[in-house]
Amino acid sequence: MASHHEVGKKGELLAADHLRLKNYQVLHTNWTYGNLELDIVARYRGVLIFVEVKTRSTQYFGMPEEFVHANKAQLIRRAADKYMDQYGLLPEEIRFDIIAITVDKEIVHFEDAF
């Protein structure tokens, strides 16, 4: 059985491929700053998008998207601020999405999730 890290990495690869198929430009995957992380940073139609990927090998504990709580969303927002600072990006239109991937590789993309 694959570890949860392996499941997560496979999910992030599937999510990045999914975005590319939708003509998103994937700028970074697994970007980190200290203890902050962004799973995927992409651009689509002039919008900078920060994507949190949640992959679950079982639905026993709930759907993947249910695991992005308020605290996690706040960490992602902080990471997005650091990302824009690091790359000298001025405040622009940004969006926070969730891509949920289930055991059967069903991909659900929640745009503007938080």
Kindly list the domain boundaries of the chain, sorted by start residue: 4-110
**From CA 15, how far away is CA 86, in angstroms rounded?**
24
**From CA 88, how far away is CA 59, in angstroms rounded?**
40
Domain 4-110 fold is Trna Endonuclease; Chain: A, domain 1 (3.40.1350)
Strand order in the sheet with 94-101: 25-33, 36-44, 47-55, 94-101, 107-110
**From CA 39, how far away is CA 30, in angstroms rounded?**
5
Over the stretch 8-66, which tens digit does the pLDDT of each residue have?
A: 688 899 999 999 999 999 999 999 999 999 999 999 999 999 999 998 765 656 666 77
Over the stretch 70-98, which tens digit does the pLDDT of each residue have?
A: 999 999 999 999 999 999 998 789 999 99
